[in-house]
Amino acid sequence: MVRRGRKRREKKSRGKQISWSAPEVPEVSNHLSENIDETYSRLAEVWGNCDDIQFRWVQIGRRKGFIVWIYTLIGKELAQEGLLEPLTAWEKPDVSFDDLQRALQTVSLKTVNTLEEINTAIGNGLAVLCVDGFDQAVAMDVMDFRGRPVERASLESVVRGPQEGFTESFETNLGLVRRRLKSPRVKVEYMALGKVSKTMVALIYIEGIVKPGLVEECRERLRRINVDSILDSEYIEELIDDAPLSPFPTIEYTERPDRLAAEALQGRVGIIVDGSPNALLVPAIFVNFLQSPEDYFERYVMALAVRLLRHFFFWLALLLPATYVALLSYHQEMIPTTLLITLVATHEGIPFPAVVEALIMEITFEALREAGIRLPKAVGQSVSIVGALVIGEAAVNAGIVSPAMVIVVALTGIASFTIPGYNIAITLRILRFPVMIIAGVLGLYGIIVALLLLWIHLVSLRSFGVPYLSPIAPLVMPDIRDALIRPPWWWMLRRPKTMEPVDSTRSADIPRPLPGQDDPL
């Protein structure tokens, strides 16, 4: 026993001597040294065990230097013609830093002064030239990384209008926006987020239209992000969200450059993230998620009808199963007699109450929809449709669910497919279940309570200081016409007051064309 106690004490004392804190590292100056060998040793140490890093030594007159790059990201021909050939053809005995910059034949060229800037430039795919005797280096863009080409937008597809969608290329996405907004008032601000990933993020807004306080708030929220990596725009969406615990999204995303351009003209701010095919739009209000880009590419008469139909189907998808459960369980007197007799006859022999029956069918439908997304595109849609038909028919024949419930669930699914915003459609799918359960317990009174709680929550939400239910609550009458309906262009002379734009005038007073008269434009 004495020996065991001694061993435990020795083991405990050894544990106390172990330090799990990081070893103290002597501070090293981040500025570049004029000694090329010292600069090389420090970069080689930082990028050690990176087999895709190359150091290429060159002789420029009497000075020696080296070029460092990630060879999997650069274009070999660009590096040879714009970088190596001008340096190898150098004939002067000496060289100044300005002469060096003028000799390089690259489109993008910038000066870097610290090791941190060099490491960031290398990670972004630039080639960095360091020369002996200079405490500065030159970073050149010779990148030729071939990513996915510009393709059609998949989630926000339209019949008429632009078909281009964002890609994972940062420069390509910015170029797609610049093609549509050519004014120098369109400002683009870069920042690198993520301590490890160093992901480039661009803030896009139109000076003179956007509220300055909104831009400053976006900058401040992005600066507060302190994480290891940003691999998609969704990371930023969660980190700058006003209500991260709410099922309703308070930040909108889009895969269409024309949508970002149109929203910037309304006074909103866009955020583009390197590696993400979706750009963020702030602030976001509830009615934005029920609007489609195609509303503005069709004649306003058709777009007006479709938008109203979309608002109707949103609430239908949320309340139809719950209303059916409440009426069939507690309020049969509200159903016409003929229809009630038919519903009771179809429900006869079903072993479950209406609320359990609805939950079974809704969960099955959601499982089929999720399976269709995960399967290859060629078979995913077929599996979803055929699976719903087969399972629904089999469930009715087996006496598990009634035919009327299958119809209700099918109508609910079709209604949810009409919602343009995928993130608000997911919210709708989640909220449908608690509303059904409370309807099965309290009937229509439960639905009313659920709607009151839902509206109280929506009224309390803010997105970058903008009320989530505006222009409905608070009521902003001039903005109502482009929220619930789609007015003609000659009626939309002012930008939405909800976004508090600096310049609220969208266009001059355009007279309405009268029948039988030539268009004044």
Q: Give phi and psi for 210, each to the nearest 5.
A: -70, 150
Which tokens in the block code for residue 185? 């008032």
**Residue 259 maps to a domain:** yes
* pLDDT higher than threshold 60 for residue 27: no
pLDDT > 90: percent of the chain: 34
**What value does the mean pLDDT take over residues 24-53?**
78
How far apart are the C-alpha atoms of 76 and 23, rounded to whole Å?
41
291 domain residue, yes or no: no
* Residues 226 and 312 occupy one common structural domain: no
Q: Find out whether 324 and 357 touch, Cβ atoms under 8 Å.
A: no
481's tokens: 């016409």
Q: Which of 97, 123, 140 is the last residue of a domain?
A: 140
Q: Is 198 left (phi over 0), alpha (psi -120 to 50) or beta?
A: left
Contacts of 441 (CB under 8 A, 6+ apart): 355
**Maximum C-alpha span of the chain:** 111
Q: Are residues 328 and 415 in the same domain?
A: yes
Q: 252 and 322: one domain? A: no
Q: Whole-angstrom Cα distance, residue 141 to residue 79?
A: 9
Query: d(Cα 79, Cα 143) in Å, to the nearest integer?
Result: 9
CA separation for the pair 133, 418 (Å, rounded)? 65
Which residue range(s) make up the domain with 460? 297-467
Say whether 336 sits in a helix, a strand or coil: coil
7 in any annotated domain: no
pLDDT band at 19 (very low <50, low <70, confident <90, very high): very low
In a domain, 163, yes or no: no
Q: What angle do CA 465, 180, 463 make, to 5 degrees?
A: 10
Contact 59, 120 (CB under 8 A): no
Q: Report the C-alpha dihedral over residues 457, 463, 466, 471, rounded to 10 degrees.
A: -60
pLDDT, residue 92, reads 78
pLDDT in tens, 337-366: 888 888 888 888 788 888 998 998 888 888
Looking at residue 371, its pLDDT comes to 76
The region, left, alpha or beta by phi > 0 then psi within -120 to 50, assigned to residue 60 is beta
Is there a contact between 343 and 458 (Cβ–Cβ < 8 Å)? no
- Shared domain for 101 and 175, answered yes or no, is no
The sheet with strand 252-254 has its strands ordered as 186-193, 199-206, 269-273, 279-282, 252-254
pLDDT band at 48 (very low <50, low <70, confident <90, very high): confident
**Number of domains within the chain:** 3
Question: 305 and 273 in one domain?
Answer: no
Return d(Cα 441, Cα 363) in angstroms, integer: 19
Please tell me the distance from the alpha carbon of residue 152 to that of residue 259, in angstroms, as a whole number.
Answer: 14
In whole angstroms, what is the distance from residue 100 CA to residue 122 CA?
19
Among the ranges given (138-147, 159-168, 230-239, 299-308), the one the predictor scored with the smallest mean pLDDT: 138-147
Q: What average pLDDT does range 455-472 have in this prediction?
A: 93
- From CA 131, how far away is CA 138, in angstroms rounded? 9
What pLDDT was estimated at residue 372? 74
Total-model pTM: 0.81
- Model confidence pLDDT, tens digit, residues 97-132: 887 888 887 767 888 988 888 988 888 888 899 998
Please state the length of the chain. 521
Do 432 and 458 have their domain in common? Answer: yes
Residues 320 and 447 both lie in one domain: yes
Domain final residue pick, 467, 487, 507: 467
Please give the radius of gyration of the chain, using alpha carbons only, rounded to the nearest integer. 31
For residue 279, list its beta bridge partners: 254
Mean pLDDT of the chain: 84
Summarised one tens digit per residue, pLDDT across range 468-510 is 999 988 888 888 888 888 888 888 888 888 898 888 887 765 5
**Residue 31 maps to a domain:** no
- 209 and 116 in a single domain? The answer is no
Distance CA 481, CA 495 (A): 12
